[in-house]
Chains A and B, each alone.
Chain A
Amino acid sequence: MLRRRSVFRDETKLDINYVPLRLPHREAELRLLMEFFNFALQSPGKMAQRVLITGNVGTGKTALSQRFGANITTEANKRGIGLCQVYVNCRELRGSLFLILQHAVTTFHPNFPKRGYSAEEILTSFIQILDEQNSHVILILDEFESLIDREGSEAVYKLTRLQEARQNKPQRLSLLCVVRNLKSISQLDASTRSTLQSNVINLEKYSKQQLVDILKDRVSLAFNPIAVPEDTLDLIAEIAVSESGGARFGIELLWRAGKYADAGDLNTVPPECVRKAVSSIIPEMRKSDLVNLGLHEKLFLLGIARALKKDEKAYVTFTEAERSYAIVCEEFETTPRSHTQLWKYLRSFSAIGIISSEHVTETSRGRSTGISLPRIPTDDLEKELKTLLENQD
């Protein structure tokens, strides 16, 4: 089969494991991390650090920690300092301290035995290896709560208080713990908690505009120029914010929308592809929601769907939707409802979650509400409504 054109330039830049060089809206946190660990470059071995990064899903915790790890390692290498990052996802290793330490040791000795030894022995071996190689490690423990849940205070205590048994020896191991919620730290005993909670970086949820900036950055890396219109990015960001999915969800949606565009042999990624992508990720709107709508509610919704489809836009204004509804009423030989009544319909659609009407567009005549259909492709909605209207008494 011949390779068709693609909207993508390099889709690997949208992979969940890709860590971009630039992290929009996390520059301050990245600088703060560099400050916390500055001693590792200025006076390696003199101290060790423990930092906690917290934040909801999709707030950039993993990307921030990995970007920081890569940056500080590069900087250390330039200065001839033996410093490296070891990234571990605790959940992938079932929260086992043994497996986490084993993973860390295999960075230096890939064939280190996988069984027959305790976690304490491996920790001792790990420090011995670092001593022999005069190396320092920043151990990044992502999904740190898994370790706490499985091993409790004891394991975390061993990691954080390691140096106390090594008086007057260089400090080799610093920790960067990534946790979704600080509440999971409360399971730890007071002394362990106190060593962890001194440096906490909390990542706030991204706003819609911040998500647009992040998506724009990824688009410039992953897509052909002008393949993704602003409208599409706006819609993705809005959905990501409303689904509390954050950047990760937004980037996944962007990739899926690109795939739908490729499947349709399109040059660009229109908002319609985002709707298709969303309906493939999020369970689509329940049909019963549509069945229970009155005749004119269905007609108005059909008008909205057609207006969105006609202009291939992410949003239509209320006036455009009203105009399209009037045409639908003509088609079904019925008198349109009043402007005020349509407003009420719009509010109820929004409450059910069929449409989103929060977007505000600036027009020459002032501000107007933009209506979008985030969760269902316009084609599917139109088909569903037509079937229902044809069977309506």
Chain B
Amino acid sequence: MNVEDIFSSRLRMKILRMLVQVGELNVSQIARRLNVNFTTTSKHLKVLEDEGILIHKEFGRIRLYRLNEHSPKAKVVQTLVETWEHPNNK
């Protein structure tokens, strides 16, 4: 996917911002915080995971998503969100 396709979705950007802020969450928690349904949330998570920006860990039925710390794309997203929220921090 092109960069404009990834970042053109408001929900995807919200998911990324949320995970930068809180670290890791499962699908239900993300859906609840975004006020959207489980299926929509899962779809967006899959897109971000396919791009290598997110990874997930499974504990039985529990799936916890977080930024992929080994992905350069995820690092850029993290810097983008942090810089946007705290522009004066070095």
Chain A interface, >50% SS class: loop
Task: Beyond A113-B26, A116-B28, list 16 extra A-B contacts (CB 8 Å).
Answer: A109-B64, A110-B23, A111-B22, A111-B23, A111-B24, A111-B29, A111-B64, A112-B64, A113-B62, A117-B60, A117-B62, A121-B60, A121-B61, A124-B59, A124-B60, A125-B62
User: Which of A38-56 touch B at CB < 8 Å?
Assistant: none
By a CB distance below 8 angstroms, the chain B residues around A226 are none
Asked if B13 is an interface residue, CB under 8 A from chain A, the answer is: no
By a CB distance below 8 angstroms, the chain A residues around B28 are 113, 116
Interface residues of A (CB under 8 A from B): 109-113, 116-117, 121, 124-125, 128-129
Asked if B81 is an interface residue, CB under 8 A from chain A, the answer is: no
By a CB distance below 8 angstroms, the chain B residues around A110 are 23
- Nearest B residue to A124 via CB reads B60
By a CB distance below 8 angstroms, the chain A residues around B25 are 111
Interface residues of B (CB under 8 A from A): 22-26, 28-29, 59-62, 64
A125 touches B60 (CB 8 A): yes
By a CB distance below 8 angstroms, the chain A residues around B23 are 110-111
| Sample (21) of A-B pairs whose CB atoms are under 8 Å apart | A109-B24, A109-B64, A110-B23, A111-B23, A111-B24, A111-B25, A111-B26, A111-B29, A113-B26, A113-B28, A113-B29, A113-B62, A117-B60, A121-B59, A121-B61, A121-B62, A124-B60, A125-B59, A125-B60, A128-B59, A129-B59
- Nearest B residue to A105 via CB reads B59
A-B contact count (CB 8 A): 31
- Nearest A residue to B27 via CB reads A113
Expressed in whole angstroms, the Cα–Cα distance for A112 and B58 within the complex equals 11
By a CB distance below 8 angstroms, the chain B residues around A113 are 26, 28-29, 62
- Nearest A residue to B22 via CB reads A111
Expressed in whole angstroms, the Cα–Cα distance for A124 and B59 within the complex equals 8
Expressed in whole angstroms, the Cα–Cα distance for A128 and B64 within the complex equals 14
Give chain A nearest CB distance to B55 CB in angstroms. Answer: 14
Expressed in whole angstroms, the Cα–Cα distance for A110 and B29 within the complex equals 13
By a CB distance below 8 angstroms, the chain B residues around A128 are 59
Give chain B nearest CB distance to A137 CB in angstroms. Answer: 16
Expressed in whole angstroms, the Cα–Cα distance for A117 and B22 within the complex equals 21
Expressed in whole angstroms, the Cα–Cα distance for A142 and B29 within the complex equals 30
Give chain A nearest CB distance to B7 CB in angstroms. Answer: 24
Q: Which of B29, B61, B64 is the one whose CB lies under 8 Å from A117?
A: B61
Which of A111, A116, A124, A129 is most buried by chain B, counting CB atoms within 10 A of its CB? Answer: A111
- Nearest A residue to B23 via CB reads A111
Expressed in whole angstroms, the Cα–Cα distance for A121 and B60 within the complex equals 7
Expressed in whole angstroms, the Cα–Cα distance for A117 and B24 within the complex equals 18
Expressed in whole angstroms, the Cα–Cα distance for A112 and B25 within the complex equals 7
Expressed in whole angstroms, the Cα–Cα distance for A269 and B23 within the complex equals 50
Expressed in whole angstroms, the Cα–Cα distance for A111 and B62 within the complex equals 12
By a CB distance below 8 angstroms, the chain A residues around B59 are 121, 124-125, 128-129
- Nearest B residue to A127 via CB reads B59
Which of B22, B59, B62 is most buried by chain A, counting CB atoms within 10 A of its CB? Answer: B59
